[in-house]
Amino acid sequence: MLFLDHIWLIPLFPAVGAALMFFFGRKLQKATVSTVCVGSVVLAFLMACGAVWQYTNWAPANDNKPYQTILYTWLGTDTGHLNFQKSDGSPAPLQADAGFLLDPLSSIWLLFVTGVGMLIHIYSTGYMAHEGGYYRFFGYLNLFMFSMLTLILANNYVLMFVGWEGVGLCSYLLIGFYFHRKSASDAANKAFIVNRIGDAGFLLGMFFIAWYMGSLRFVDVTAAARSGAFHIGDPIITAATLLLFVGACGKSAQLPLYVWLPDAMEGPTPVSALIHAATMVTAGVYMVARSNALFVLAPKSMLVVAIVGALTAIFAASIGLVQNDIKRVLAYSTVSQLGYMFLALGVGAFSAGVFHVFTHAFFKALLFLGAGSVIHAMSGEQDMRNMGDLSGKIPVTFRTMFIATLAIAGIPGLAGFFSKDEILWQAWKFSPYLWAIGFATALMTAFYMFRLIYLTFWSPSRVASHEVEHHIHESPKSMTVPLVILAFFSLTVGYLGVPPSLGGSNHFEKFLEPVFANAQEKEAPPTGESGPGLTEYLLMGLSVAAAGAGWLLASRAYGNAGKGYTEPIAAAAPPVYRTLLNKYYVDEGYDYVFTGRRKVGEVRLGVMGAGEASSWFDSHVIDGAVNAAGWITRFTATFSSGWDKWIIDGLFVNGIAYATQPFSYLARLFEWGLVQWYALVMTAGLVGFVFYYVYH
């Protein structure tokens, strides 16, 4: 039990690598950086293999239950002092462990994340050899590995969220690796901000679960959900799962939050391969699969997941049909394939979805690394219109990418065939409409992938300058060896999940059975078909035909694409072509509605527009009312003051005085100041009185 007991070492190795790069990276030689960072991931990979091997030995003897090891309580306390109230009023401890969980689901992620991650680290030593910031790049990559492994191995939602945010941060840092380029830093911001929306949903979903279930540990939540205490269609669980799915939409680039992923191609190509194709973007699938016991209780959420997945699949695939940037084609392909995975999860075929994640990780990483190799050979050129006829010049890249293309297109015998066909079959069982969308997407997938192959490798050379033409060279061993290894896996991993209808026993599904126990019961009722039906073979034949048709169409359209070739879609329906080339104008729409960078005339729409409108309302209406009140008050004050001054003081007070004054002139004539005159008047008055009284 050496590996299993020390499972915490798996994320720790890359963490140490990242820390070393952070503190000492600047002073280290490139060779040292490579040794430390690649070494840490190799160690993690070996540890992961050992742990999974030991788990497969341990599990059968332990009822196939997940292996959980809790190091310590990381958030909250285990003394019960920090309780919150559950929905039923009972107290529950608020705590999150630094704990690790290994079960078949995390085993699969653990293996391909460390495995593909290791190969991409090796590849990067070649790809980034001539770039500045070498240590910074590897430091970020190691930090990413640490976060991703934390996400995968976490035994509770909170720790998973830490990893979730960690990979988001690393994604941001690595998309913006060429930070001196405005487009790169913009793309990094976009990825980070769009992911925030999803993360908010994840957080809220988490709170719902804690409030409703009383615990955030996966084992507790799963056990509670399967205990039968909650009925199917429980509104709280529906809300919680929908919120979790919002989080998954952000991280796994589903409608309507997919917009960041195509722009994320601004990062170095190994980053696109590792983070934006193979591992991080599948975190949403992982989280939904991890919460499968909850999703099974919420059929409405499942339906939403399936519909969003199907729509995303066909939406992104249609955009991919006409893109000219080799990495953008692959980016839309990734979005589309992620849509497939969610379609599978939504129809209840969890293990089919996970299987597609697994196979997709190999061939999509291979495609991106191959594209990186092409770009490397073309001296940085990414536009497929300026490529062509590279098959003989970079044969290893060509052959490996061709294998990956066959795999993703669904050519029988390769990885993608088995996983995609399983999804389409399960979708058919759920609803033929969803199958039809998936089928159309499969046709488009084959078309755009072979378009990529034809334009890049087979059609006549359209290379712009002789200098570039002359410089074309096969990549170094450090880059081709990972390609070859990934190509080998793209060829073979499909055989892990051969369905019974093709004579296999679907080991993959059996391995995952303990995780999706109740989902399986629901998905295949006992009355279901006992053996492979005719329909299944028919659908299989149709999807193979779709792959072949896509190849054929692409070869007809691009087989002889010389300089200035025309796109068949552009020739047939220019408006459709323009719409697809401009990605359905979704970014422009978001610019109008959410970011406020664009206006209709003078008016800004959406959130910013609302802000601007309320700002206008505030400054004109509210402030206007305030000012009006002020003006009215000032007017009445002026009036009142004038009244006081002119009417009260003027008319009544002074007016009376002025009116009195003229009389005073008369009166004061008697006041002339000579005493004897007064005396004379007095005497005269006296005499007058006397005469009056005497003779009256």
Contacts to other proteins by CB under 8 A: 668, 671-676, 679-680, 683
Cβ closest to other proteins, residue 505 vs residue 683: 683
C-alpha closest to that of 536 among 371, 436, 422, 391:
422
Using DSSP's 3-state secondary structure scheme, residue 84 falls into: strand
| Cα–Cα distance, 599 to 590 (Å, whole number) | 11
Distance of CA 65 to the CA centre of its chain: 31
Using CA atoms, how far apart are residues 510 and 513, in angstroms rounded to an integer? Answer: 5
Our CB check for other proteins shows the closer of 466 and 668 to be 668
Q: Which residues does 261 contact at the CB level (< 8 Å), separation at least 6?
A: 191, 253, 276, 281, 331, 334, 335
Smallest separation (angstroms) from other proteins to the CB of 659: 19
CA separation for the pair 341, 354 (Å, rounded): 7
- Closest to other proteins by CB, 625 or 679: 679
Closest separation in Å from C-beta 656 to other proteins? 20
**Minimum CB distance to other proteins, residue 676 (Å):** 6
User: d(Cα 271, Cα 267) in Å, to the nearest integer?
Assistant: 6
Give least dist CB 696 to other proteins, A.
Answer: 21
Shortest Å distance, C-beta 679 to other proteins: 6
Report how far apart, in Å, the C-alpha atoms of 76 and of each of 69, 82, 94, 197, 207 are.
18, 6, 6, 26, 15
Chain-centroid distance, C-alpha 591? 17
Residue number with CB closer to other proteins (675 or 694): 675
- Are the C-beta atoms of 400 and 487 separated by less than 8 Å? yes
Q: How many CA atoms lie within 13 A of 382 on its CB side?
A: 14
Which amino acid belongs to residue 306?
A
- Least gap, CB of 658 to other proteins (angstroms): 17
Query: Which C-beta is closer to other proteins: that of 670 or that of 695?
Result: 670
Among residues 177, 167, 175, 239, which one has the least CA distance to residue 199? 167
Q: Which of 80, 104, 103, 77 is nearest to 92 (CA)?
A: 80
Q: Determine the distance from the C-alpha atom of residue 466 to the mean position of all C-alpha atoms in its chain, rounded to a whole number.
A: 41
State the minimum distance, in angstroms, from the CB of residue 663 to other proteins: 13
Query: Least separation, in Å, of the C-beta of 682 and other proteins?
Result: 10
Structure tokens at 7: 């499972």
User: Measured from the CB of residue 683, what is the shortest distance to other proteins in angstroms?
Assistant: 6
As measured in angstroms, the least distance from the Cβ of 669 to other proteins is 9
- Tokens 């003027």, residue? 650
Helix, strand, or coil (residue 503): coil
Cα gap 182→155, rounded to integer Å = 39
How far, in whole angstroms, is CA 687 from its chain's centroid? 122
How many of the other CB atoms lie within 10 Å of CB of 205? 24
List the Cα angle 318/319/321 in 5-degree steps. 70
User: Which two structure tokens, joined as six digits, stand for 689?
Assistant: 């009185």
What are the C-alpha distances in Å from 627 to residues 146, 322, 613, 618? 59, 57, 19, 12
- CB-wise, 1 or 686, nearer to other proteins? 686
Q: Are the C-beta atoms of residues 287 and 248 closer than 8 Å to each other?
A: yes
Cis peptide leading into residue 299 (ω within 30°):
no
Q: Least CB distance from residue 672 to other proteins, whole Å?
A: 6
Residue closer to other proteins by CB (options 648, 680) is 680
The two structure tokens encoding residue 605: 């729409």
**CB 695 to other proteins: min, Å:** 18
Closer to other proteins by Cβ: residue 637 or 679: 679
Q: Would you mind telling me the total number of residues written for the chain in this entry?
A: 696
Identify which of residues 392 and 673 has a Cβ nearer to other proteins in the complex. Answer: 673
Give least dist CB 657 to other proteins, A. 16
| Smallest separation (angstroms) from other proteins to the CB of 640 | 38
d(CA 263, CA 272): 10
